[in-house]
Amino acid sequence: MMRSDRTGFAYARAAGSPRGPGRGATARTGSIDQTSRQAFDPEPGTAASARGKASNALMAYGIAAAIGVTFVVTIVTLRLALGTGIDESFLTGDVTQHIVGQRYFIADAWRWPLLVTRLLEPPQGVNISLTDSIPLAALLTKLFRGMLPAGYTTIYPWLGVAFLLQPIAGVYALRGAGEKRLLPAALVALLALSMPTLLFRVGHIALCSHFLLLFAIGLYLRITADGRGRLGPVLLLLCASLLIHPYLLAMVATVLVAAPITLCLRRAPWATVAGQVAAALVATAGLALLLGYGGESPGSGFGRASMNLISPVYPFQSFLYQAIVGSPAPRVDATGLQYEGYQYLGAGVLLLLAVMLVTDPRAVGRSIRRHAGPWLIGVALTVLSVSSTAYAGHSLLFRIPHVPEFMHQFRSSGRFFWPVTYFLLIGAVVATLRGHRRWVALPVLVVATGLQWADATDLRRGITHMAGPHAPLTAEDHLLERVIAQHRRVTIWPTAACGEVASAPPFMRVLRAASVHVVPVNSMYLARESDATHCEGAEIAAAPLAPGELRLFMPNAINAAGAVPDGIDHCRMVGEYAACSRNDGALSGLPALPAEPLFPIGQLVQMGGDHLPPQAVVGWYWAEPEGAWTRGHTAILAGRFVGVGAEPMRLTIWADAVADQPEKAVTVRIDDTVVAHWQIHSGTQREYTAEIPAGLLSDGTHLVRFEIAHPIRTIDFRHDSEDSRLLGLYLMNFRFDPN
| Residue predicted with more confidence, 1 or 601 | 601
In a domain, 231, yes or no: no
Phi, psi of 670 (to 5 degrees): -105, 115
Residues 80 and 96: their CA atoms lie apart, in Å, by: 15
pLDDT given for residue 532 in this prediction: 53
pLDDT given for residue 14 in this prediction: 33
Q: Which of 580, 614, 642 is the last residue before a domain boundary?
A: 580
One domain, residues 435 and 491: no
Residues 6 or more apart whose CB falls under 8 angstroms from that of 614 comprise: 559, 597, 639
Which among 732, 703, 726 is positioned nearest to 714, based on CA atoms?
726
- % pLDDT > 90, the chain: 72
One domain, residues 349 and 460: yes
Average pLDDT for residues 180-189, to the nearest whole number?
97
Average pLDDT for residues 440-454, to the nearest whole number?
96
In a domain, 292, yes or no: no
Could you please report the per-residue DSSP string of 252-294? HHHHHHHHHHHHHHTTS--HHHHHHHHHHHHHHHHHHHHTT--
pLDDT given for residue 43 in this prediction: 44
Asked if pLDDT for residue 354 goes beyond 70, the answer is yes
One domain, residues 310 and 361: yes
pLDDT given for residue 447 in this prediction: 97
Average pLDDT for residues 122-127, to the nearest whole number?
93
- % pLDDT > 70, the chain: 91
One domain, residues 529 and 385: no
In a domain, 22, yes or no: yes
The CA-based angle 221-222-228, given to 5 degrees, is 130
Q: What phi-psi label fits residue 273: left (phi over 0), alpha (psi between -120 and 50 degrees) or beta?
A: alpha
In a domain, 233, yes or no: no
Q: Which of 580, 615, 635 is the last residue before a domain boundary?
A: 580
- Top-ranked range on mean pLDDT: pick from 14-23, 381-390, 493-502: 381-390
Phi, psi of 548 (to 5 degrees): 80, 0
Average pLDDT for residues 572-587, to the nearest whole number?
95
One domain, residues 559 and 610: no
pLDDT given for residue 193 in this prediction: 98
pLDDT given for residue 23 in this prediction: 36
Asked if pLDDT for residue 724 goes beyond 80, the answer is no
The answer to whether 445 and 191 are in contact (CB under 8 A) is no
In a domain, 30, yes or no: yes
Q: Using one digit for the tens of pLDDT, what is the confidence trace for 664-715?
A: 899 999 998 999 999 998 888 899 999 999 989 989 999 999 999 888 877 6
Average pLDDT for residues 227-241, to the nearest whole number?
96
**Pairing state of beta strands 489-493 and 549-553?**
parallel
pLDDT given for residue 454 in this prediction: 98
| H/E stretch holding 248 | helix 246-265
- Top-ranked range on mean pLDDT: pick from 233-247, 329-343, 406-420: 233-247
One domain, residues 311 and 198: yes
The answer to whether 465 and 256 are in contact (CB under 8 A) is no
Which among 507, 514, 524 is positioned nearest to 485, based on CA atoms?
514
pLDDT given for residue 19 in this prediction: 38
For the chain, the domain total comes to: 3
One domain, residues 443 and 339: yes
Average pLDDT for residues 499-504, to the nearest whole number?
86
Q: Which of 445, 465, 485 is the last residue before a domain boundary?
A: 465
One domain, residues 713 and 689: yes
Asked if pLDDT for residue 38 goes beyond 50, the answer is no
Class of residue 299 by CB neighbours under 10 A (exposed 0-12, middle 13-18, buried 19+): middle
In a domain, 309, yes or no: yes
The mean of the pLDDT values for the chain is 88
The answer to whether 535 and 634 are in contact (CB under 8 A) is yes
Q: Using one digit for the tens of pLDDT, what is the confidence trace for 411-425?
A: 889 999 999 999 999
The CA-based angle 267-273-277, given to 5 degrees, is 135
One domain, residues 542 and 664: no
Class of residue 510 by CB neighbours under 10 A (exposed 0-12, middle 13-18, buried 19+): buried
Which among 426, 460, 427, 416 is positioned nearest to 214, based on CA atoms?
426
One domain, residues 338 and 363: yes
Average pLDDT for residues 213-217, to the nearest whole number?
98
pLDDT given for residue 516 in this prediction: 94
The CA-based angle 480-94-331, given to 5 degrees, is 125
Angstrom distances, CA of residue 345 to CA of 55, 75, 282, 456: 33, 20, 34, 10
Asked if pLDDT for residue 268 goes beyond 70, the answer is yes
Query: 518 is in which domain, residue-wise?
Result: 475-580
Output DSSP code: residue 625. Answer: S
Q: Using one digit for the tens of pLDDT, what is the confidence trace for 142-171?
A: 999 999 998 899 999 999 999 999 999 999
> Greatest CA span in the chain, whole angstroms?
105
One domain, residues 680 and 725: yes
Q: What phi-psi label fits residue 682: left (phi over 0), alpha (psi between -120 and 50 degrees) or beta?
A: beta
Asked if pLDDT for residue 47 goes beyond 80, the answer is no
Which pLDDT band holds residue 539 (cuts at 50, 70, 90)?
Answer: confident
In a domain, 733, yes or no: yes
| Residue predicted with more confidence, 149 or 405 | 149
Please state whether the peptide bond connecting residue 123 to the residue before it is cis, i.e. omega within 30 degrees of 0.
yes
Asked if pLDDT for residue 53 goes beyond 90, the answer is no
One domain, residues 492 and 391: no
In a domain, 664, yes or no: yes
